[in-house]
C-alpha cells in the first residue's frame, strides 16, 4: 500500500516551475524505497495534507525520484493550516530536499529564518556588445557587473528584497566618464507580503510586461503592486517611472519621471501561458517624443495594450508570441515578436544548453524600454526601433556558470538602414 500510495502521489502532484528563454527541468537520482521520506509522505497523505488522484484512488508501483519527492514537498509547504506534527514533518522533508526545491523555485522559508534572517545571493557577469550600422562606424563595448540580492525575513508573511549593482567598463578600467557606475547603487528595494493567493509589494520593484514577455518594458518603477489569483492571476500596479530608462526617442527633457498605472491578467494551465495587459504612462515628455505627435494636438500619454502567449509542445520545444500597440502615438506605435525555443539551460545543471530563433519588431513609441530592443543597452544603433531576426544560444559549462551568445540582424524602422548587434555574456552565480 505504501509503495502504490507514494508512487501515485508522485504522479498526481505537480508544481509549475518558472521558465525563461533558457530554462529546462532537471533530472535527479532515485530516492531509495527504504528512505525515511517515504514514511513521512505516507503520514502526510493519511492526514490529508497531500492528496491522490482526482478519483480518490492511489495506483502505480514504481520508484520515485528526488525531483518528484521535491514536488510533493513543495505542494505540502503551500498548505497553511497544518498541525504541529505535520508541519514538523514538512520542515524535515524540506531540509532533506532543499537543493531540489531551490531548483524548482520553492523558497524554504522556515529553513531560511532558522539559519539567518538575511539571505544573500549574487551574480558576477561579463558582457560584450558589438554594434554595426551601415552609415556609422562599428562600436564595441564590454562591461563587468556585480549584482547582490539580499532578502530579509520580517515575519511569516513579509520580507524585504533588494538589489545592489556595481558596474565598470573594462576597456577604461573605470566607470563611464562623469558617472559613478562602478560604485554600488540601489537598483530596487521593496517590502513584499504573501498571503495564500494574494501578494503585495511596496517600494521600488521590477516593471516587466509579463503578458508580452518584455516587448513593452523591462525596467523598474517606484510605487505599489498587488496581485491575486492562481491559474488566473491579476496584477495591479501604480507609481512613477524614471524616464531616463526610456528609449532615446522619448527622452526626459521636460519630465524626469512619468506617472504610471497598469493591469496585467495572466492565465497558466498545463502547456499554455497567456496574458493581456493595459499600461498607461503620463508625462509631458511624450509631447516632444520622436514621431509621437504628427497628425494633431500634442499628447502627454502613452496608452499601451499588449497580448501574448507561450505553448510548450513538449519538454524541449516551445512557441511564443506577443503584440503591443500604443493607442496615443501617431507613428511607430506597433510592436510584435514571435519566438521558437529548443531545449534550455539551467545554471545548476552542468552541460545543459538551449537555443532560440525569433523575429522582432520593436517600435520606439510602444516598446518604451523593451527587453528585445537593439538600443536599450546604450551605444545605440538606432533611436526609433528595429525589425529583424534574433538568434541566441546558451550553455552551462560548469554548475552555476552560464554562457550566452545572441545575434540580431535587421533594419532600422525609419531609415531602413541595416543594423547588427552581437551580444555575449558569461555569468557566475553564487
Of the candidate ranges 52-66, 289-303, 347-361, the one whose mean pLDDT is the lowest: 52-66
Residue 295: band (very low, low, confident or very high) from pLDDT cuts 50, 70, 90:
confident
Q: Are residues 216 and 199 in the same domain?
A: yes
Whether the CB-CB separation of 201 and 208 falls below 8 Å is answered with: no
CATH code, domain carrying 389: 2.40.160.10
Domain boundary among 109, 139, 166: 109
- Co-location of 92 and 124 in the same domain: no
| Per-residue pLDDT, 177 | 58
Domain that includes residue 82, residue range: 2-109
Higher per-residue pLDDT: 99 or 131: 131
Of 109, 129, 157, which residue sits at a domain end? 109
105 and 122: one domain?
Answer: no
182 pLDDT more than 70: no
- Residue where a domain terminates, one of 57, 74, 109: 109
Dist. CA 240–CA 223, nearest whole Å? 6
Answer whether residue 80 shows pLDDT above 90.
no
Ranked by mean pLDDT, which of 5-14, 180-189, 276-285 comes out on top?
276-285
The answer to whether residues 291 and 349 belong to one domain is yes
Q: Residue 323 contacts by C-beta under 8 Å, 6 or more apart in sequence?
A: 212, 215, 306, 307, 308, 334, 335, 336
Cα–Cα dist 48/50, whole Å:
5
Q: What is the mean predicted confidence (pLDDT) over 49-62?
A: 44
Does residue 201 sit in the same domain as residue 148? yes
Is the same domain home to 261 and 398? yes
Residue 356 pLDDT grade (very low, low, confident, very high; cuts 50, 70, 90): very high
Based on the fold, state whether residues 189 and 253 are members of the same structural domain: yes
Closest CA to 307 of 323, 328, 326: 323
pLDDT of residue 308: 97
**Domains identified in the chain, total number:** 2
Give the model's pLDDT for residue 248: 72
pLDDT given for residue 52 in this prediction: 42
Percent of the chain with pLDDT over 90: 47
pLDDT at res. 251: 64
Percent of the chain predicted with pLDDT > 70? 80
Is 388 found in the same domain as 305? yes
Give 230's pLDDT tier (boundaries 50, 70, 90).
confident
Rounded distance between C-alpha atoms, residue 42 and residue 58, angstroms? 12
Residues 291 and 343 placed together within one structural domain of the fold = yes
In this structure, are 139 and 93 located in the same domain?
Answer: no
Give the pLDDT score at 378: 47
Give the model's confidence band at 354: pLDDT under 50 very low, under 70 low, under 90 confident, else very high: very high
Q: Does 12 share its domain with 45? A: yes
Mean pLDDT on 236-260? 85
| Mean pLDDT of the chain, nearest integer | 82
23 and 143 belong to one structural domain? no
Amino acid at each position: 500500500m505504501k509503495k502504490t500510495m507514494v508512487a501515485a502521489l508522485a504522479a498526481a502532484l505537480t508544481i509549475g516551475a518558472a521558465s525563461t528563454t533558457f530554462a529546462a527541468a532537471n533530472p535527479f537520482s532515485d530516492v531509495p524505497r527504504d528512505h525515511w521520506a517515504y514514511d513521512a509522505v505516507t503520514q502526510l497523505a493519511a492526514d490529508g495534507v497531500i492528496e491522490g488522484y482526482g478519483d480518490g484512488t492511489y495506483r502505480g508501483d514504481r520508484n520515485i525520484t528526488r525531483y518528484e519527492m521535491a514536488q510533493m514537498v513543495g505542494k505540502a509547504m503551500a498548505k497553511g493550516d497544518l498541525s504541529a506534527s505535520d508541519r514538523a514533518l514538512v520542515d524535515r522533508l524540506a531540509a532533506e530536499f532543499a537543493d531540489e526545491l531551490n531548483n524548482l523555485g520553492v523558497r524554504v522559508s522556515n529553513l531560511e529564518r532558522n539559519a539567518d534572517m538575511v539571505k544573500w545571493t549574487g551574480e558576477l557577469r561579463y558582457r560584450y556588445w558589438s554594434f554595426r550600422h551601415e552609415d556609422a562606424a562599428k562600436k564595441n563595448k564590454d562591461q563587468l557587473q556585480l549584482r547582490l540580492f539580499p532578502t530579509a525575513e520580517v515575519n511569516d508573511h513579509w520580507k524585504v528584497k533588494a538589489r545592489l549593482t556595481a558596474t565598470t567598463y573594462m576597456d577604461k578600467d573605470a566607470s563611464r566618464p562623469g558617472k559613478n557606475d562602478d560604485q554600488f547603487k540601489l537598483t530596487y528595494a521593496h517590502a513584499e507580503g504573501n498571503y495564500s493567493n494574494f501578494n503585495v509589494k511596496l517600494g521600488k520593484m521590477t516593471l516587466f510586461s509579463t503578458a508580452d514577455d518584455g516587448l513593452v518594458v523591462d525596467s523598474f518603477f517606484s510605487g505599489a503592486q498587488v496581485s491575486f489569483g492562481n491559474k488566473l492571476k491579476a496584477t495591479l500596479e501604480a507609481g512613477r517611472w524614471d524616464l531616463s530608462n526610456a528609449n532615446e526617442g522619448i527622452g526626459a527633457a521636460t519630465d524626469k519621471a512619468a506617472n504610471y498605472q497598469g493591469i496585467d491578467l495572466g492565465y497558466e494551465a498545463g502547456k499554455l501561458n497567456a496574458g493581456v495587459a493595459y499600461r498607461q504612462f503620463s508625462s509631458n515628455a511624450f509631447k516632444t517624443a520622436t514621431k509621437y505627435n504628427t497628425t494633431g494636438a500634442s499628447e502627454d500619454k502613452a496608452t499601451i495594450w499588449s497580448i501574448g502567449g507561450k505553448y510548450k509542445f513538449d519538454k524541449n520545444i516551445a512557441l511564443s508570441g506577443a503584440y503591443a500597440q500604443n493607442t496615443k502615438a501617431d507613428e511607430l506605435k506597433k510592436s510584435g515578436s514571435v519566438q521558437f525555443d529548443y531545449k534550455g539551460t539551467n545554471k545548476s545543471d552542468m552541460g545543459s544548453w538551449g537555443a532560440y530563433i525569433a523575429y522582432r519588431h520593436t517600435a520606439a513609441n510602444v516598446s518604451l524600454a523593451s527587453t528585445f530592443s537593439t538600443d536599450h543597452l546604450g551605444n545605440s544603433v538606432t533611436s526609433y526601433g528595429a525589425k529583424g531576426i534574433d538568434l541566441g544560444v546558451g550553455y552551462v559549462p560548469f554548475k552555476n556558470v552560464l554562457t550566452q551568445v545572441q545575434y540580431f540582424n535587421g533594419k532600422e524602422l525609419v531609415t531602413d538602414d541595416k543594423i547588427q548587434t552581437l551580444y555575449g555574456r558569461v555569468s557566475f552565480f553564487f
